[in-house]
Every structure is written in structure tokens, then in C-alpha cells.
């Protein structure tokens, strides 16, 4: 259970970090998306007005009115971001062997009455102690 909990913690913290990154990027890209759409609409309208100007006076009033009422399709500039993928295993906020964790992982399961869990022993935090290497002995000074 301890190895599973350690790996689940790593996956869940990674998921939280990446979801935050995804949402921040999506917000930034979304801002630019609207700007690009407005630029595209403006460019299409400019082409319309230029076409009216170079039409040598033939139906310029109607052409200007058409340009004012021009409906520009921007559907090809709309980005479908999609949802954030769900994890196969849910991230539990309850610490290992706590009442909440036992309830989530064992007691709430339909099979718990038939196969109850053994006593839960909380994981021990592994503390790694590193010591500085022993310095090499210095040679004794000999009188000259």
C-alpha cells in the first residue's frame, strides 16, 4: 500500500500541475484566438472595400452597402480545446490509513463485508541522511 500511495501521490501532483498548465495555456491562446478572428474579419472587409474602389464606379453605393453588411465566416478560426482527460484512478485527499482513506478504499466497497481488510499500518516516511565525505588525511609536515 505504501508504494501504491507514493506512486499515486506522484501521479496526482503531476496531474494537478499539468491541469493548471493546460488551463493557463488555454486562457492565453483563447485571448489570441479572438484577436486573430477580428484581424481576419477586418482583412476580409478591407478586401471588399478595395474591390468596390477598383470597380470604376459601377454600383459603388451597392458595393459599399454590401461591405458594411458583410457576414464573415470565422468558424475555421475557432479552436475546440476539449475537456481535461480524467485519470483512471481518483486522487484521494485522505492520508493513507486514515478513517477517510479506509472508507474510500475499502469499507465503501461492495466486497468489504465478504473480505474485510487487514489492519492498516501507516507508511513510514523514509528519511535519507547524507553525510559529508571524510576528508582525505593530510600528510604530516616533516621538519626541514
Residue position matching grid coordinates 486514515? 98
Distance in angstroms (rounded) separating the CA atoms of residues 13 and 133? 34
Closest CA to 76 of 118, 119, 26, 41: 41
Grid coordinates of 133 = 565525505
Q: pTM of whole model > 0.85?
A: no
Amino acid 121: pLDDT: 77
Q: What is the DSSP letter of 58?
A: T
What string of pLDDT tens digits covers the 144 residues of the chain? 677 677 777 778 888 888 889 999 999 998 899 999 999 999 999 999 999 988 877 788 899 999 999 999 999 999 998 888 776 666 766 777 778 878 877 788 888 888 877 788 777 765 556 666 666 676 666 665
Q: Residue 65 has which C-alpha cell?
A: 452597402
Amino acid at each position: 500500500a505504501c508504494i501504491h500511495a507514493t506512486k499515486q501521490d506522484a501521479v496526482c501532483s503531476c496531474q494537478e500541475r499539468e491541469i493548471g498548465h493546460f488551463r493557463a495555456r488555454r486562457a492565453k491562446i483563447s485571448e489570441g484566438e479572438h484577436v486573430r478572428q477580428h484581424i481576419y474579419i477586418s482583412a476580409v472587409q478591407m478586401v471588399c472595400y478595395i474591390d468596390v474602389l477598383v470597380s470604376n464606379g459601377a454600383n459603388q453605393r451597392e458595393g459599399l452597402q454590401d461591405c458594411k453588411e458583410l457576414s464573415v465566416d470565422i468558424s475555421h478560426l475557432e479552436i475546440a480545446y476539449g475537456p481535461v482527460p480524467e485519470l483512471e484512478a481518483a486522487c484521494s485527499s485522505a492520508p493513507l490509513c486514515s478513517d477517510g482513506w479506509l472508507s474510500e478504499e475499502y469499507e465503501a466497497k461492495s466486497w468489504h463485508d465478504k473480505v474485510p481488510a487487514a489492519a492498516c499500518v501507516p507508511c513510514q516516511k523514509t528519511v535519507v541522511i547524507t553525510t559529508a565525505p571524510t576528508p582525505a588525511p593530510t600528510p604530516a609536515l616533516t621538519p626541514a
